[in-house]
A and B are shown apart, each in its own frame.
Chain A
Amino acid sequence: MPALFDLPTLWAFIIAFAVFAYVVMDGFDLGIGILFPFFAPGPERDSAMNSVAPVWDGNETWLVLGGGGLMAAFPLAYAIILPALYAPIIAMVLALIFRGVAFEFRWRDPGHRRYWDFAFTTGSVVAALAQGITLGALLQGIAVEGRSYAGGWWDWLTPFSLLVGISLVVGYALLGATWLVMKTEGAVQNHSFRLAGKLALGLIACIGLVSAATPFLSGAYYERWFAWPQVLFTAQVPLLVGLCSGTLLVSLVRRWEYWPFLLTLALFALCLLGLGVSMFPYVVPNAVTIHEAAAPNVSLQFMLVGASVLIPIILAYTGYSYWVFRGKTGHEGYH
């Protein structure tokens, strides 16, 4: 068991943190995009969008940190994973273009607003799907030869990767719905409660399916989850998932405003933990470990100095920005 002070391990945790921060924060932005068609054009859509307009850009920056951090800390992994997942990655960045500009463009061109709303939704759905497919394809394994990717350019497309893709779309949509429950009131909030209920059931089913399929992707995963005695530890993960799921459903039925979002976050955190159980210490499953992929210690040290000072500062001013825009977003028109 490597110590936490081991630089590659530490950086694996930092990047996992960046990915989690991204999934949580851009997750609800993308979720709102995914749910956009379910809201009526006009005040409903406007107030849904207003709830994230001041923060989406910062949220998306965590994705750049995840990608840039992977290149900096684990260049070999970055060099293998990105070509292997060429199509989904390109699809994701293109989708994020449409999603990102729609925030501004829809206000500048009321005549074509429905086209930019469509771009907003399609961009959000495709980005979420591509991110899920990326994760699924990584989990199911990547062909490696020497220091590069050795597979074809459609290897990523399997029923499993599609399942993970769809699961992430559902998961982001639930984050979006529960965010709106927290940030809006009146009709939008009622609507969000109804959507969140259905999505919660959908996400629980998805988590069940992905969890059931993962151990059978490779013998190593099965071992990691079911071998005695670590099953005593690993079994806590599905138990906690069950507990959170149950509480989430109760919170939605009882119309609590903050708990649904927080419990959805907890579900995402548990999924990440499960992912860690399946993968650690590999960064490309069964092929490249974080130690093999790690940049030289001089690179990791140099970045650690900055990261340990800057990431807390970033979290502080990000928190401040959320504080400035706290509370419920207005919903009636302004004339």
Chain B
Amino acid sequence: MGVHGNKHFLMRVGSRKNLQEAPLNEFSARVQELIPRLRRYARALTGERSAADDLVQDTLERAWNKLHLWRDGSDLRAWLFTIMHNVHVNQVRSRAASATVSLDDEAADAPVRPTQSDMLEVRDIDTALARLSVHQREVLLLVALERMSYDETARTLGIPIGTVMSRLARGRERLRFVLAGETSPATLKVVK
């Protein structure tokens, strides 16, 4: 197909003057660079490969829908992770009717994903993570995997920094407890 010589067409669809070709091109490439990181976080957050990639896909689609809200020069990684957080929380809320998942820190004492309990031996850390509240898991993973500072984490999730710290402390303590009780010591040998 000839894509040249269609100036008329370009003028008609090119009315978004703030989104010129080159920046869009560059933006797209930068988004794609971050996809592996979004996948890593989503994998740890959901515990399942296909659910994680669905979450990434929903996040990317939403990002392109919200492109007009993107401010050049701001932190693209934080922007994308914020979108993923919103998409994920909405998904969790919509599943809340089945009462198997919880967002709240307080409810974390109950197993949040009982369907995975049979995989305890194979995936200790997955199972342990599943026992955290979504909120605790998010903070823990952004700090551990994305190596975000408390401040970045707070801005990404739209919560006060004090909340980041309390969720992190409670999440880590719970994870330590769960892993100590349910994994073989070999997987938890202390790294000096």
Do A and B form a real pair?
no
